[in-house]
Amino acid sequence: MATFFGEVLSVYSRAVEEDDDDLDDENEDERIHREIEEKREVHIVWCPEVAQSLEDSGSNTLQCSDLIIAVGTNAAGFLSAYVLNTESWDAVGHVSLWNERSRGSSRQSIAPLPGEPACLFYRHRDNPAVLVCQSTCYIAEDQLFQWTEKVLGCLQKRGLSVMVLSDSPVAEYKTPDYLYGSAVPFLRSLKSSASKGQALCPALEQPNILTGLPAAVLSHCQVHQIPAVLYQCYTDVISPDSITMETYKPALLCLSKLVKLEPCLSADVLRKFAIITEAQSNLYT
């Protein structure tokens, strides 16, 4: 595209360019593509007890009645504060993957350190059919399908229900009327066709859509007729924030039917999970 001043700007096009690789050396390219694919594979690392249960099951699946997935720091913070804060949860596994946004040059085999972006699994001690997953790391577009197939593939479909809590910037929410500050943060829901219960907040209106891990999980549940509900929290704060975390409270109604929850929390507890932005990021020091 040429501008008035004669400079040529490259225009962003939504189309995917035609692949002109008829002329390339296919063998070498294939080897490189295979190596990259292996490097980007998604692996689930379970603790020994769960790995044993999977092996003993015969079908390599776990019996699970409820899977709760938190995507994003606020959703994860909410679960940490309201659900995982009792002593009744065991860490049972994590997802090991590598992509361009990961630290290091290859997939790590060791468990992630506390505070690092990660995908962690917890199981309730008194009710081992309830699994929680906190996902705070970036999962690339080409890894989303694999993540979903591998995680949900470990669980028996029968009797399974899925709940997803997910953060999103309010800038991505499309509405004809401008949203004033007091309206934010807010929740919207999406349900798979197999989910018969009532959602606890308004449904996500057209033309809004979801992408990323929540979309991959919900698509899988829709296609495989698994009851699933998603609560999307639109917020104008990018860092973890206690007010945003509190917005997920309606989900407690469903969660309290599964496990014993902390009845009420002090503001201090929530603030502990909201990380204060470090001064080290100041340009001028």
Partner 1 sequence: MMFVAAECTPTSFKDFTLIMPAISVGNVGQLAVDLIVSTLNMCRVGYIHTDCLIPMVGNNPYATFAENANDLSTNAEVYSSPELRLAVLQIRTPIIQTKSKKLCKLMVSWIKASGFSRTVVLSSSHAYQRDDQQLLGSPLRYLQTPSMQKVTGDRLKEMEWKEMETVSTFPGVTDSEQRLYIPGGGATKGLFTDSCAEDIPLVVVLIFCSEGDNIPDAFTLLNHLNTWLHLVDAPVSATAQTQPKWRIPASWRLLFGSGIPPALF
Contacting residues toward partner 1, per CB under 8 A = 11-19, 33, 37, 141-142, 144-146, 148-149, 173-179, 190-193, 203-212, 214-216, 218-220, 222-224, 230
Pair of tokens at residue 15:
């189309």
Cα–Cα nearest to 218, from 187, 196, 195, 244: 195
DSSP code, position 25: -
Q: Measured from the CB atom, is 82 or 234 closer to partner 1?
A: 234
Least distance (Å) from partner 1 to the CB of residue 32?
11
Q: Measured from the CB atom, is 112 or 227 closer to partner 1?
A: 227
Least distance (Å) from partner 1 to the CB of residue 17?
8
Cα–Cα nearest to 62, from 41, 47, 79: 47
Whole-angstrom distance, CA of residue 119 vs CA of residue 217: 14
Whole-angstrom distance, CA of residue 63 vs CA of residue 160: 8
Q: Measured from the CB atom, is 197 or 275 closer to partner 1?
A: 197
Least distance (Å) from partner 1 to the CB of residue 16?
5
Q: How many CB atoms lie within 10 A of CB 78?
A: 30
Q: Measured from the CB atom, is 175 or 256 closer to partner 1?
A: 175
Whole-angstrom distance, CA of residue 285 vs CA of residue 53: 53
Least distance (Å) from partner 1 to the CB of residue 207?
5
Is 76 in contact with 136 (CB distance < 8 Å)? Answer: yes
Q: How many CB atoms lie within 10 A of CB 125?
A: 13
Least distance (Å) from partner 1 to the CB of residue 167?
16
Least distance (Å) from partner 1 to the CB of residue 260?
31
- Geometric angle at alpha carbon 266, from 263 and 272, rounded to 5°: 115
Q: Is the peptide bond before 185 cis (omega within 30 degrees of 0)?
A: yes
Least distance (Å) from partner 1 to the CB of residue 254?
18
Q: Measured from the CB atom, is 51 or 179 closer to partner 1?
A: 179
Q: Measured from the CB atom, is 43 or 260 closer to partner 1?
A: 43
Question: For residue 169, what is the enclosing H or E element?
Answer: strand 161-169
Q: Measured from the CB atom, is 1 or 110 closer to partner 1?
A: 1
Query: What sign does the CA torsion over 271, 272, 275, 277 have?
Result: positive
